[in-house]
Amino acid sequence: MPALLILGGTAWLGRETAAQAVASGWDVTCLARGESGVIAPGATLVRADRDRPDAYDAVKGRDWDAVVEVSWQPRHVREAAEALEGRVLHWTYVSSVAAYQPTCEVIAEDAPLREPVDPDARVDGAQYDAAKVRCELDTLESHPEALLLRAGVIIGPGDPTERFAYWPRRAAQAGTGPMLVPGPPAHPVQLIDVRDLVAWTLDAIEAGLSGPVNVVGDQRPGAYAVELAREVAGAVGPQVDVDPTWLLAHGVTPWKGPGSLPLWVPDDGGPARIGYHSDERFLATGGRRRSLMESIRDILAEERALGIDRDVEGGLSRDRELELLAAWEAERG
């Protein structure tokens, strides 16, 4: 039985990786604090604080067929790679397409990357993009044949980010009522289901794949995803397309977070960090993607089970959305 070590493994992506690997016959160990979620059935949890010097003592004394690293703290990534050097047949670092320099050209794996953060930087979310670059570089120092999985926007059941689930949830809430949607121009989106990303990752590990690979979805207008979400949720009320400039002036933020319209990135004519990534290598190495409709159905089923009207941290509240719609209609006369 091949041995897989996941550095993480109790949060969303790591847990899905553990679950699929166990189902495929791997002996799975997850090294984590164990505070981000419940470990997948069949996997073994090794509790460790990666800020401590003894973090890897329990796992560095054995050989591993594969390691999957998901952290974006450079020190964690570097120290793990160094501690396990010479004990791992295949190393995968889960990076991000955010590591690339923003552009509106097609971005293949050889495109320029951002400037990395300093090696010993303790980073926060504002430095996420540059931190991923540093983590890639540090991984390659110890494991030059590593697979660098540059993920796009990940969606699917269990998503803790509240980025995509906002849209099917809001469509279900709106029902016969109005629903606010940002009007054009906006940058496109590329959405990959977590289950498809993980299935490809495990296949790539078994095949010994190395180097960078963009793991993203089809390029689609954001409006397409909203349309599908409305269809699946049965929303029949009016869709109100609101001018992006007006939204920004009224305090609506793009991308994610409280008070935002998630995944919305207005196109101001400048470069973008999402929506323009080539997935040719992913498809050529066996990548498969389920339909966006299927992902939305599964996401909405989970949202209904959790409670459509529950309070969430991301996006606009329904009350705030209705306030904005009333103001928009009033200003239009």
Which whole-number Å values give the CA distances from 106 to 103, 261, 280, in the listed order?
A: 8, 25, 11
Taking each helix axis from N to C terminus, what angle separates 222-233 and 166-174, rounded to the nearest 10 degrees?
Answer: 50
Q: pLDDT by residue (tens digit) across 77-104? A: 999 999 999 999 999 999 999 999 999 8
What is the structure's pLDDT at 186?
95
What is the structure's pLDDT at 274?
87
Instruction: With a cut of 50, list the residues of the chain below it in pLDDT.
Output: none
Which whole-number Å values give the CA distances from 100 to 27, 128, 191, in the listed order?
A: 34, 12, 17
What is the structure's pLDDT at 126?
87
Length reported for the chain: 333
Q: What is the 3-state secondary structure (H, E, C) of the chain?
A: CCEEEEECCCCHHHHHHHHHHHHCCCEEEEEECCCCCCCCCCCEEEECCCCCCCCCCCCCCCCEEEEEECCCCHHHHHHHHHHCCCCEEEEEEEEEHHHECCCCCCECCCCCECCCCCCCCCCCHHHHHHHHHHHHHHHHHHCCCCEEEEECEEECCCCCCCCCCHHHHHHHHHCCCCEEEECCCECCEEEEEHHHHHHHHHHHHHHCCCEEEEECCCEECHHHHHHHHHHHHCCCCCEEEECHHHHHHCCCEEECCECEEECCCECCCCCCCCCCECCHHHHHCCCCCCCHHHHHHHHHHHHHHHCCCCCCCCECCHHHHHHHHHHHHHHCC
Query: Which residue do the tokens 């010097």 mark?
Result: 53
What is the structure's pLDDT at 100?
97
Whole-angstrom distance, CA of residue 23 vs CA of residue 253 = 40
Domains of the chain plus CATH, in order, are 3-151 (3.40.50.720), 157-189+219-268+291-331 (no CATH)
What is the structure's pLDDT at 124?
87
What is the structure's pLDDT at 291?
97
What is the structure's pLDDT at 41?
97
Q: pLDDT by residue (tens digit) across 115-131? A: 999 988 888 888 999 99
Ramachandran area for residue 111 (φ above 0: left; ψ -120 to 50: alpha; else beta): beta
